[in-house]
Structure 1
Amino acid sequence: MTAREGAAGAQGTGPELTGPSASAILAELADLRSRDAPTQGGRVLSYVYDSGVAELDELARDAAELTRPLNALDPTTFPSIAVMERELIAFMRRALHGSTSRFGAGPVVGSVTSGGTESCLLAVKTARDLWRAEHPELAAKLARAGKKPRLVTAATVHAAFQKAARMFDLEWDPVDCEPDGSVRAAGFEAKLGADVALVVVSAPAYPNGAIDPIAEVAGLAKAFELSCHVDACFGGLALPWWPGLAPWDFRVPGVTSISADLHKFGYAPKGVSVLLHRGRRRHRAQFFATTSWPGYPVVNPTLLGSKPASPLAAAWAITKRLGSDGYAALTASCVRSAETIVREASIIRGLSVWGAPSGPSIALMTDDSVPEDERVDPHHLADELATLGFRIQHQPGFTQRNGVRLPHTAHLTITPVTERTLPELVAGLRTAADSVRGRPRATPRLEMLGLQALGYAPKREGGSYRVPSPDMAWRILKIAGAGGSGSSLPGKLAPLMALAEHLPAPVAEAILTELLARVSEP
């Protein structure tokens, strides 16, 4: 008997496999992947974070495969999980200047999570639980009045915090921004009070790349004895090496927690993030633990129970290989590209950069100072640029609670590999701008008239409207161009973005939910 035969006999023959062969399945998957946007090469300027270093991709793949069978639920059974998480938290603590406890709240500690959204949710859940414990009488008084504790953020904060407010029964109370997307500390100060469970500031805000006035807001939060979270999910592994920035991390008194994603500018596979807290008491409030059932004691530091170890292992391996110097070098590439794009976009007639980005996020907008026939609409620009092989992200305009409107824009995420395609990208921006210059913005006039007649859009400002059912939402989407060529997605996004922007938020959310639901519906 050969060794292979012996091994087969020991393992048993297993079930009869009647599906397609492994090679046929992998060939089908390869065909499906061929239709995806490219995740490497710098042509998709959102969602993907390409270091451009092939060795890192190979290292991440191998580390992930070594840990694929593990369940990160229980580091006592798999002690390698504890070692990797401990060392990854230590690396992030150094990067975010949390290695020394200068403000008397205890050491900076934290957990590895499944991504930025989970980190944000946990930051809010932790602050809410601590607030409830510290303000039981006020919590009861608010409940009797039908009110909730508040979550105060800038209007540009990531949508994950709106999700957190809904999940954890808080009122989201955004601070309105200036037309350039910046936010003032005075706007935060006007909203602070004993009923605020958490204040959140961004480093940077994803829509426009601006860093909130973190030192001022954290100082105000500290004076009011409030928790203050810095959402650095986007920039947490780029801003530590970005030149010329004022302190924004644990160097700032009053900052009580920070979230940062390793699967963004940490260049790890999705999904892996960290949430760091100032002090063990705050960190432990993040946990769920129970012995009140007949099974094993359950202790979860995060929202997930069972979870894969592969993203953790990949992130751990990449941070060890790169170290601080490696991240500094990759960030320097992002800085050069960002400066070039800001400079070049600013001299394209009819186009401008929104606000003052301070990191690897840039938003392009129409330059309204030139005549209409010379203006470049950013959504038409994004659609045209896609035909040239580059994908940038449509961002609808947004009317804040004070009536001030933030412009519709096109977002670019700058990564190290952007520098390799920079001449082609800049040329593409110029060509696309020339192609759409003077083209009026997409305006869903006919669709809006029909929706008003059906009651799904108000006939006057502040009027009543209905929220469409799934079937009606799909009918609306088909009017906007979805459902053609065998795909639920429209060919161009500018008309859809304009429609969504003109509709009441609940109606727009219903039709966009339907769009994404139809993509994966059998």
Structure 2
Amino acid sequence: MEQDLVAFARDLLHGPETTVGTATSGGTESILMAVLAARDASPRGSVAAARPSMVLPSTAHAAFRKAAHYFGVRPVVVDVDPVTYRAKPGAMARAIDDTTILVVASAPSYAHGVIDPVPAIAAAAATRGVRCHVDACIGGMILPFLDGVRPWDFAVEGVTSVSVDLHKYGYAPKGISLLLHRTPALRRGHYFATADWPGYTMLNTTAQSTKSGGPVAAAWAVARVLGHEGYAALARSARQACLDITRGVGGIPGIDVVATPDSTLLALSSTRSGDVYLLADELADRGWFVQPQLPYAASPATLHLSLSAATAPLVPEFLSALAEAADTVSSGPQLTVGPGIAGVLAALDPASLTDAMLDGLLAASGVSAPTDGSGLALPRRMAPINALLECARIPLREALLLAVLDRLNRPAAASDQESCLFGR
């Protein structure tokens, strides 16, 4: 079943007969394995093996930063065009050096929904003898079925690997993704084997040893039912929903589409600072989930929309809710972080963050935490917390998020009998 899916994806992505692939648990694992395979292919004793780096646009998925953190690969982050939000091939090419093991492009980028200029980026990588990975986790099952799409897949010379998720626009249950390589030799680095212990010989294709066959079987069944015609119809429907919302947003005061979408993802910004967070809460109150994205480099704070075929018949309803939410937000007070809290955030050392400090910051955002240091519950309306995070510099944002994640994942106090599932 896994190899049936690989063959299906190979043909969709114009892979040569030598193309091979591996099923993973999701896009993040596919990206992790692509980086690992590139890192471990560096010749021993080379500069790249000693100090590996990868060149990526600032809009590349966060999973590449995760891979860099896990595998000791230095991320060389290159600014994108501040208008189109696409990677700049010239700047990417100049960033490649003797330590570069991988160059990354997105098809499309998650944050803005645009396709990077893959041919120029892949050519720059190939000229230096470096691999080029295209992250098509969210576009790989949409773009092959759309007309007029800029080149991005294995049809582009120099593209050595592509990741594509089947649990997104492949409409399979979570979590199933495919990592495809142009040749078996390119894939070898993320395989693992060891016989250097007294137990069973360990032999793995991905990071996981134990892998459920359920997601693979489910994806196989969905692909068998839908086939090319089914996927094409779903892709066209999702794309039309994206275009319709793009046009509709043009008639709503105070809201803009940040970048012209190439696929089915949209990023919306607000004229007034902080309003996107209030809009997210207002839309949630009306039954619509949208994802706030904090500002980064030239990109403002945005609302992210991932549109599927299920969205198409609901576009008028969504636009009505968005217009209503925008009117509510614009007629209300502007969301701000007080100067006292802003001063604390400016002075706070991320490494010194304690539970007590976190509780104080959360209290300033309207979140009360248990006094015993146990878990906490996030509020229904998240705008004040998002505004606080926006005010913090990136290292502090990350420290705050990790601290909150830790607090959200603590068991109830031993004395809390009602919260204990099993009793005593």
Q: Cα RMSD (Å) of the superposition? A: 2.0
Say if 2:23 and 2:177, in contact at 8 Å, map to a contact too: yes
The reply to whether residue 445 of structure 1 matches residue 356 of structure 2 is no
1:477 to 349, 362, 377: 362
List structure 1 segments (4+ residues) > 4 angstroms apart after TM superposition.
438-441, 484-487
Mapping of residues 117-128 of structure 1, within 5 Å? 117-128=28-39
Deviations 1:97-121 (A, max 9, x none): 11x35xxxxx010100011110000
Mapping of residues 322-401 of structure 1, within 5 Å? 322-367=226-271, 377-399=275-297
2:378 to 489, 497, 503: 489
Residue 306 (structure 2) aligns with: 413
How has the CA–CA distance of structure 1 residues 483 and 238 changed in structure 2, closer, same or farther, with 3 Å as cutoff? farther
Deviations 1:116-137 (A, max 9, x none): 1100000000000112x2x623
- Residue 475 of structure 1: CA displacement? 3.1
- Residue 439 of structure 1: CA displacement? 4.7
Say if 1:127 and 1:227, in contact at 8 Å, map to a contact too: yes
The reply to whether residue 198 of structure 1 matches residue 102 of structure 2 is yes
How has the CA–CA distance of structure 1 residues 341 and 139 changed in structure 2, closer, same or farther, with 3 Å as cutoff? closer
Say if 1:377 and 1:439, in contact at 8 Å, map to a contact too: no
1:364 is paired with a residue of what secondary structure? strand
How has the CA–CA distance of structure 1 residues 250 and 139 changed in structure 2, closer, same or farther, with 3 Å as cutoff? closer
- Residue 162 of structure 1: CA displacement? 0.2
Mapped to 2, the partners of 1:347 and 1:200 lie a distance apart of 36
Residue 285 (structure 1) aligns with: 189
Say if 1:123 and 1:257, in contact at 8 Å, map to a contact too: yes
Say if 1:200 and 1:229, in contact at 8 Å, map to a contact too: yes
2:353 to 468, 472, 492: 468
Mapped to 2, the partners of 1:435 and 1:484 lie a distance apart of 30
Say if 2:341 and 2:361, in contact at 8 Å, map to a contact too: no
Mapped to 2, the partners of 1:447 and 1:380 lie a distance apart of 22
Mapping of residues 237-248 of structure 1, within 5 Å? 237-248=141-152
Mapped to 1, the partners of 2:177 and 2:159 lie a distance apart of 18
Residue 498 (structure 1) aligns with: 387
1:156 to 59, 68, 71: 59
Bigger radius of gyration among the two: 1
Say if 1:376 and 1:439, in contact at 8 Å, map to a contact too: no
Deviations 1:322-378 (A, max 9, x none): 1111100000110110010000012211111011111111010124xxxx6xx8922
Mapped to 2, the partners of 1:352 and 1:471 lie a distance apart of 39
1:136 to 27, 45, 62: 45
Say if 2:122 and 2:132, in contact at 8 Å, map to a contact too: yes
- Residue 268 of structure 1: CA displacement? 0.9
Deviations 1:401-434 (A, max 9, x none): xxxx310000000011001221211110111111
Structure 2 unmatched runs, 5+ = 412-424
Residue 319 (structure 2) aligns with: 426
Mapping of residues 72-151 of structure 1, within 5 Å? 84-98=1-15, 100-101=16-17, 107-131=18-42, 133=43, 136-139=45-48, 143=50, 148-151=51-54
Letter in 2 for 1:424: E
1:508 to 364, 386, 397: 397
Mapping of residues 5-84 of structure 1, within 5 Å? 84=1
Mapped to 2, the partners of 1:510 and 1:245 lie a distance apart of 39
Mapped to 2, the partners of 1:452 and 1:471 lie a distance apart of 14
Mapped to 2, the partners of 1:137 and 1:408 lie a distance apart of 41
Paired residue total = 406
- Residue 477 of structure 1: CA displacement? 2.1
- Residue 446 of structure 1: CA displacement? 4.2
| TM-score scaled by length of structure 2 | 0.91
| TM-score scaled by length of structure 1 | 0.74
Mapped to 1, the partners of 2:81 and 2:48 lie a distance apart of 33
Mapped to 2, the partners of 1:473 and 1:487 lie a distance apart of 11
1:476 is paired with a residue of what secondary structure? helix
The reply to whether residue 436 of structure 1 matches residue 347 of structure 2 is no
Percent identical: 41
